[in-house]
């Protein structure tokens, strides 16, 4: 048999296989296109959630179960949660969710020189109470509370138990729990074989695949404004976000004026005081939403310049900052690698 005859014979064997592969691919694509996009909405962690996913089956219960697992571990407002037990100094070994978030929180705290700190709750509460009553904590009160703040004052031992340098120290995961909850739901959908979805909890987002419009998911960044009546649909920009997580933190909704100065709700864990700098909003894109959530919070404490230095060390993250200029106008800075994702 000549070489040409061998090639022809080989091709004849390959053609049916190739045809079968093409037909199978067409069938799979058509099945995927015919699958409906489903919606799941509700209330969790003191905020709303909205989830869109493409699947033949309804996975609403699986989604709720995932959210409840996070709530039962990390919510300070859940009397039976793991974090509540630890804050009450009960001898409880944390579950896997608590341990995972605690480890990530410590990493972000180290990377941001303590700008992110899960022990800052007493100061946040003190200033928040002041917002409502008009009586702000004085220096003595702040100094006293600072004794109970500091991420290095909390550790997890080899036995898995949490150790606090002072039993009055409390842990608050509110600046990372929404992002983590978003990740947990995304993992659940991944495990169920869902390849196209958007999970959003309180503005924190994880996306995979494409939307029902057969296009990349588009996520808006809200325009910072002091107008409390402004709609959330008043957007600064829209980002094409696919297979990424995104979180935003901002000072423009919660603030007060005193002696002509504007004080934001973000508290610097080191000084115990509300931050005063030009950064109005920090949007972070990262491989996980918990990471994006934590760094967005840290960046609001650090300000633009220090945040840029952190981003230089972490090319896996991208950020979109909105800040105020000396003349009172809003300006924008974003990671160069984010430019192709802008949908303006």
The tens place of each residue's pLDDT in the chain, 344 residues long, gives 666 555 555 555 555 555 555 544 444 444 455 699 999 999 998 899 999 999 999 999 999 999 999 999 999 999 999 999 999 999 889 999 999 999 999 999 999 999 999 999 999 888 876 566 667 889 999 999 999 999 999 999 888 899 999 999 999 999 999 999 999 999 999 999 999 999 999 999 999 999 999 999 999 888 876 554 444 557 888 888 889 999 999 865 555 555 544 555 789 999 999 888 889 899 999 999 999 999 999 999 999 999 999 999 999 999 999 998 888 788 999 999 888 777 65
Collapse the DSSP code of 162 into the 3-class scheme (helix H, G, I; strand E, B; otherwise coil) and give the result: strand
Do 162 and 154 form a contact (C-beta atoms < 8 A)? yes
Counting runs of H as helices and runs of E as strands, what totals does the chain give? 9, 14
Q: Work out the angle at residue 34's Cα, subtended by the Cα atoms of residues 33 and 36, and round it to the nearest 5 degrees.
A: 100
Non-local CB neighbours of 309 within 8 Å, separated by 6+ positions: none
Do 282 and 250 form a contact (C-beta atoms < 8 A)? yes
Residue 114, both tokens: 């303590």
Q: Round to whole Å and give the CA distance between 256 and 263.
A: 5
- Segments of the chain assigned E as strands: 37-44, 47-54, 154-156, 162-164, 197-201, 204-208, 218-222, 235-240, 245-250, 255-258, 261-264, 279-286, 318-324, 330-334
Collapse the DSSP code of 155 into the 3-class scheme (helix H, G, I; strand E, B; otherwise coil) and give the result: strand
Span between the terminal Cα atoms of the chain, in Å: 63
Collapse the DSSP code of 103 into the 3-class scheme (helix H, G, I; strand E, B; otherwise coil) and give the result: helix
Q: What pLDDT is stored for residue 240 in this prediction? A: 86
Q: Round to whole Å and give the CA distance between 221 and 95.
A: 34
Quote the crossing angle between the two packed helices 289-302 and 96-111, to the nearest 10°: 40
286-299: string of b/e by CB count within 10 Å (b at 16+)?
bebbbbbbbbbbbb
Q: What pLDDT is stored for residue 339 in this prediction? A: 83
Q: What pLDDT is stored for residue 230 in this prediction? A: 46
Q: Which of 214, 216, 210, 208 is nearest to 188 (CA)?
A: 208
Q: Round to whole Å and give the CA distance between 233 and 220.
A: 8
């Amino acid at each position: 048999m000549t070489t040409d005859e061998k090639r022809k014979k080989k091709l004849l064997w390959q053609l049916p296989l190739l045809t079968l592969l093409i037909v199978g691919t067409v069938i799979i694509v058509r099945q995927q296109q015919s699958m409906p996009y489903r919606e799941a909405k509700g209330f969790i962690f003191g905020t709303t959630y909205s989830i869109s996913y493409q699947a033949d089956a309804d996975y609403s219960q699986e989604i709720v179960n995932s959210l409840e697992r996070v709530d039962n571990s990390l919510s300070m407002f859940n009397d039976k949660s793991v974090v509540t037990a630890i804050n009450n100094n009960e001898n409880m070994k944390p579950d896997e969710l608590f341990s995972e978030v605690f480890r990530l929180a410590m990493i972000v705290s180290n990377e941001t020189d303590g700008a992110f700190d899960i022990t800052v709750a007493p100061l946040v509460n003190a200033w928040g109470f002041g917002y409502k009553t008009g009586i702000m904590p004085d220096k003595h009160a702040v100094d006293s509370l600072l004794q109970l703040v500091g991420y290095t004052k909390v550790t997890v031992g080899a036995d898995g138990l949490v150790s606090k340098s002072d039993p009055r120290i409390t842990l608050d995961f509110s600046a990372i729990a929404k992002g983590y909850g978003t990740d947990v739901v995304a993992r659940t959908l991944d495990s169920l074989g869902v390849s196209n979805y958007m999970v959003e909890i309180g503005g924190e987002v994880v996306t995979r695949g494409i939307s029902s419009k057969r296009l990349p998911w588009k996520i808006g960044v809200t325009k910072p404004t002091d107008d409390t009546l402004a709609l959330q649909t008043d957007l600064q920009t829209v980002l094409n976000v696919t297979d990424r997580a995104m979180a935003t933190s901002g000072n423009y909704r919660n603030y007060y004026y005193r002696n002509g100065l504007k004080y934001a709700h973000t508290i610097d864990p080191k000084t115990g005081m509300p931050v005063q700098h030009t950064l109005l909003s920090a949007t972070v894109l990262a491989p996980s939403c918990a990471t994006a959530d934590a760094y967005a919070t840290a960046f609001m404490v650090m300000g633009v310049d220090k945040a840029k230095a952190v981003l230089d060390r972490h090319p896996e993250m991208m950020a979109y900052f909105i800040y105020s200029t000396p003349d009172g106008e809003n300006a924008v800075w974003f990671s160069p690698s984010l430019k192709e994702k802008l949908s303006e």
